[in-house]
């Protein structure tokens, strides 16, 4: 049984155009989607959201995505983010979703359930694409690294605005630990850390990434980026750091962009 839907499907526009595509952001707690205006990098319709089913198996998640797309009245190009390493449409890992997704052709599962032309990509990669086109990394040449601080640390690596997919920089080993276990926003919350104390951990982590990649810009996202003024100024790095601009819409926008670009190549 599906529950937790928000948004009004009757206001959605059941059509496709050269300047729109549908984006779906699949997460461990929620699945949300909307039609995206690809020229503005913004939502063209109200966002619809459902709770992620429990268990978050391929069948149940696909049913939710199909229900969401049906409610929107959408047919056509559809991009979907997924919290996993995605290689040629297949999930190689599974973060915060059921482990039965590992080895599953996510593209095919969602294409079969929605009857749309589906493109699936990692959630942080989608955010990186959106920020490079419309957000904090717009018109930035060279190496840009987007890092999303949440339950873990997601990453997207861009070179001259082009995505290098499936980086997993949150899993770099640092001081004998998986970096995200110490520097994610979940670690901050779970340990009751102040922004000042947590920023020291983020500083240590970003310095390590900086030494490995020598980026031209860091973009920091995730829910904690809403309070960027409380911790970003505390960082002392050679690389500029900007808060992400698209926030909760970045995954939806980036997924829609990826789908549109795939089917217009």
| Domain limits, the chain | 9-126+249-263, 138-244
Looking at domain 138-244, its CATH class is alpha beta
The pLDDT, as a whole number, for residue 42 is: 95
Report the chain's C-alpha Rg in angstroms: 18
Cα 12 to chain centroid, rounded? 23
Adjacent-strand bridge partners of 177:
174
What CATH number should be reported for the domain whose range is 9-126+249-263? 3.30.420.40
Residue 235 confidence (pLDDT): 98
pLDDT tens digit sequence for 128-160: 999 999 999 999 999 999 999 998 999 999 999
> Residue 209: CB partners within 8 Å, gap ≥ 6?
145, 147, 169, 172, 215, 218
**Pair of tokens at residue 94:** 């599974």
What's the pLDDT score for residue 4?
55
Q: Using CA atoms, how far apart are residues 180 and 249, in angstroms rounded to an integer?
A: 23
Residues of the chain with pLDDT under 70: 1-18, 263-265
Angle at 12 (CA atoms; ends 10, 17), nearest 5 degrees: 150
pLDDT at residue number 6: 54
At 243 the pLDDT is 97
Collapsing DSSP to helix, strand or coil, 18 comes out as: coil
Contacts 24+ apart (CB under 8 A), 163-167: 163/125, 163/128, 163/129, 163/132, 165/86, 165/121, 165/122, 165/125, 166/85, 166/86, 166/87, 166/122, 166/125
The pLDDT of residue 18: 63
9-126+249-263 with 138-244: one CATH topology? yes
- 216 burial via Cβ count (<10 Å: 0-12, 13-18, 19+): middle
Spacing of C-alpha 11 from chain mean position: 25
Q: pLDDT tens-digit profile of 10-37? A: 344 434 456 999 999 999 889 999 999 9
List the end-to-end C-alpha distance of the chain, in Å, as a whole number. Answer: 38
């Amino acid at each position: 049984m599906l529950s937790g839907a928000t948004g009004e499907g009757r206001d959605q526009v059941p059509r496709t155009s050269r300047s729109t595509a549908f984006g779906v952001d699949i997460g461990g707690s929620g699945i949300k989607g909307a039609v995206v205006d690809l020229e503005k990098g913004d939502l063209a319709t109200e966002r619809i959201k459902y709770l992620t089913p429990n268990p978050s198996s391929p069948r149940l998640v696909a049913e939710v995505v199909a229900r969401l797309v049906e409610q929107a009245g959408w047919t056509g190009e559809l991009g979907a983010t997924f919290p996993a390493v995605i290689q040629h449409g297949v999930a190689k890992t599974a973060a915060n979703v059921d482990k039965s997704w590992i080895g599953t052709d996510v593209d095919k599962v969602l294409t079969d359930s929605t009857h749309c032309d589906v493109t699936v990509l990692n959630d942080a990669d989608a955010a990186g694409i959106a920020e490079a086109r419309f957000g904090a990394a717009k018109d930035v040449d060279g190496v840009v690294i987007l890092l999303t601080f949440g339950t873990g640390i997601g990453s997207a690596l861009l070179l001259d605005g082009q995505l290098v997919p499936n980086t997993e920089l949150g899993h770099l080993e640092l001081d004998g630990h998986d970096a995200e276990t110490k520097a994610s926003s979940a670690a901050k919350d779970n340990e009751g850390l102040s922004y000042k104390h947590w920023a020291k951990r983020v500083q240590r982590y970003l310095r390590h990434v900086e030494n490995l990649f020598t980026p031209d810009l860091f973009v920091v996202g995730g829910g904690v980026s809403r309070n960027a003024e409380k911790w970003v100024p505390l960082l002392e790095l050679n690389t500029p750091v900007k808060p992400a601009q698209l926030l909760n819409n970045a995954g939806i926008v980036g997924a829609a962009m990826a789908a549109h670009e795939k089917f217009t190549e």
